[in-house]
Structure 1
Amino acid sequence: MPEPRSTPAPVTLEEVARVAGVSRATVSRVVNGVSTVDEELREMVTRAIVATGYTPNRAARSLVTRRAGAIGLVLPDEGRMLGDPYFGRVVGGVMDVTQPLGVQLVLTSAGTGTHQQVVADLRQGRLDGVILIHTHGADPLPRLLIESNLPVVLAARPVRPMPITYVDVNQTAGAALAAHHLADRGCFRVATITGPVSTTAAQDRLSGFRQAMADRGYPDVVAVEADFTHEGGATAMEELLVRCPDVDGIFIASDLMAHGALPVLRRHGLNVPDDIAVVGFDDSSPALACDPPLTTVRQPVEEMAAEMARLLLGRIERPTRPVSAVVFEPTLVVRQSA
């Protein structure tokens, strides 16, 4: 009769400390999300956690800290979540930080009842804090959380000034990169397809592009609004060709919209980039799926999402810490479309 297999003993803090080359106290501080740990030490401990397979005892830790050991990630409606690779990249970046620490990530999509549910989950201790993705100017949730003094980080500059911690990319600088690239190619009749102008990302990309084109001597930029979706990009391109039939350079404010727009150009007998140069924004998987592969402005989504998670955990640990803004710089990735 075979002997029963013994269950491997759980990895201890001491073992993690030995692998990381730090003290047990340092490992404990990292696992508990203490924000004052030196960043280099935090990275060493995180690597050791992954290498040893250490799993924090969330239930025991919750008894000591009186925390849920869980944070929320509030995404747009489910249809957009499934269709846009941006959101999967955000989830991956957040989990790079939370998973090694044993912090559970709870996903929810915006919709009826979401605001009240998020506030209730925080007040009743089911969540320790939340990250909000893509809010618009009329969204009351950021203000509700601020007024309730609950830990929150926003994944964009707020539409209206408010005391909230946020992470963003320099949207105007990214759009300016697109403008200068099109101008350097010799494009003189330039247009843009924007995202929904109720969002700061769309507003800043539009203003940055227009200002940079004006600086290069082209103040007349036709703009068509879309919704950051594949279908929206296709529809907007049809409208743009009616409004601006002699266009020779287009900045499309997301790769996903560009992926929908490029087939429209082909149907109208226009070659990219010989007839029309096209630049996108994001450097996501649709950029490589475009035909031809899309020249685009890269925003480091995974790094930005990881920073959101770190900032939120810091606010959970020390709720009185001042609000802050972290802005990443974009880069231009040149491919075959422009």
Structure 2
Amino acid sequence: MDDLPTLAQVAAAAGVSPATASRVLTGSVRVSTSTRRQVHDAMSRLGYVRRRAPRGVSNRRSDQLIAAVVCESPQRLFTEPFYARLLSSAEDTLAGHGVPMMIMTATPNTSTITAPPLVSGTVDGIILIGARERHPILVTLAASGIPIRCVGRPPDDIDIPYVDMDNRDGGRQAAEHLLLGGRKSITAIGGPPGLPGAADRLEGFLQTLSRAGMINVPVAYGDFTHASGCHAMQWLLNRVPHLDAVFAASDTMAAAAIQTLRRAGRRVPDDVAVVGYDDSPIARHTAPPLTTVRQPVEELTSMAVRLLLATISSGETPSNNPTLPTELVIRESA
């Protein structure tokens, strides 16, 4: 017996008519933002799963369409090289299968208008990127029944299939390299704590230092941008004037740290060793070139896309969440 909540029950819980709830699901523009939020909140509370027509029925498209949903603002999407690498890889892989891709952004403030077209049957599958804790679109998509694959481990213990990188081990490799280099006053610039990948990098780094007897390591936090890296590095210099090493959770922040150290009259790596994370193109063009942890962004994304397409094709719930290795790339900054 099917005891899953019905659309009528969702409508009742949201205090709207079934017709209005249906318009929300189909992405109609004739519904206010506040009403959309009420309906999606009710869907999340009740665990409503949209009944999708089986592939092959007459009202379904014969072609496929995949949505890449980036949980960031458009400004971040178009200014951070990481997203260009990731989305290019996704599109290349999909193009090889003859499947088009559309790109959407979804911040916590815009998720109520982003979710409806995604859960209405417009797309066949979703690649979810950059999901942070307490992001409202997570629960909505997890309950939608749409095939989905998250790039990076999802937060909040949300049950969404994913492909991840071994970020903890990446942090471990960075810490061991600095310890082996004889550094005694080590600091870190972490990424957003609500992003699982950033949290894992910092955790692996700090745990390794702790096992070596180095506790209470000073940490400043940034949001992967150049400006935040500058501010974080300056904060660390003010707090620990004699620091001799810094690990930054992204190459962009590491490049900003090098710039800030140079302005403060500190030489890299003679006075301060700097290790980044990503092995993005910028790592080869800093002065000096950046020692960094390489994460296989293109391979990660391609695997996520292939697994999503396999799920769509088979109709089976995936059970595997692969984790790819990271690798320390030694250059001149540390």
Q: Same fold (TM over 0.5)?
A: yes
2:303 equivalent in structure 1: 307
Residue 87 (str. 1) matches residue 104 (str. 2)? no
User: C-alpha offsets along residues 218-271 of structure 1, whole Å, 9 cap, x if unaligned?
Assistant: 123110011111111011111110111111011001001111221110011000
1:201 equivalent in alignment to 2:201 = no
Question: Do the aligned partners of 2:254 and 2:276 also contact (CA within 8 Å) in 1?
Answer: yes
Query: What do the CA deviations read for 1:7-66 (whole angstroms, capped 9, x no partner)?
Result: xxxxxxxxxxxxxxxxxxxxxxxxxxxxxxxxxxxxxxxxxxxxxxxxxxxxxx997973
- Give the Å deviation of 1:297: 0.2
Distance in 2 (CA, whole Å) between partners of 1:102 and 1:322 is: 22
1: CA distance, partners of 2:286 / 2:297:
20
Number of the residue aligned with 2:291 = 295
Distance 1:78 1:118, change over 3 A: closer
Kindly indicate whether residue 68 of structure 2 is the aligned counterpart of residue 73 of structure 1.
yes
Contact 1:68–1:126, Cα closer than 8 Å, also in 2: no
How far apart in 2 are the matches of 1:319 and 1:119? 22
| Aligned equivalents of 1:325, 1:119: Cα separation in 2 | 24
The corresponding residue for 1:143 is: 139
Q: Quote the Cα distance in structure 2 between the aligned partners of 1:265 and 1:175.
A: 22
**In percent, how many aligned pairs have the same letter?**
37
SS at match of 2:308: helix
TM-superposed deviation, 1:152? 1.1
Residue 219 of structure 1: aligned partner: 215
Amino acid at match of 2:220: V
> Distance between the aligned counterparts of 1:273 and 1:113, measured in 2?
42
- Where 1:325 maps in the other structure, the secondary structure is coil
CA distance in 2, matches of 1:245, 1:62: 68
8 A Cα contact 2:209 2:215, kept in partner: yes
* Aligned Cα root-mean-square deviation (Å): 1.9
- Distance in structure 1 (CA, Å) of the matches to 2:57 and 2:257: 50
1:237 aligns with 2:233: yes
Deviations along 1:176-230, whole A, 9 cap, x unmatched? 0000000000001100000011111121111111100112221231100111111
Partner of residue 120 from structure 2, selected from 118, 121, 124 = 124
CA contact (8 A) 1:295 1:335 kept: yes
Q: Distance in 2 between matches of 1:119 and 1:246?
A: 49
User: Secondary structure of the equivalent of 1:297?
Assistant: strand
Q: Tell me, yes or no, if structure 1 residue 281 matches structure 2 residue 277.
A: yes
| Structure 2 alignment gaps of length 5 or more | 1-55
Offset of residue 116 of structure 1:
3.9
| Match of residue 184 from structure 2 | 188
Q: How high is the TM-score relative to the length of structure 2?
A: 0.79
Which residue type is aligned with residue 322 of structure 2? Answer: V
Contact 2:226 2:253 in 1 (8 A): yes
Q: Which residue of 2 aligns with 1:27?
A: none
For residues 65 and 309 of structure 1, what CA distance do their matches in structure 2 show?
22
Q: Is the 8 A contact 1:62 1:68 kept in 2?
A: no
Q: What letter is aligned with 1:316?
A: I
Q: Which residue of 2 aligns with 1:250?
A: 246
Superposition deviation, residue 126 in structure 1:
2.1
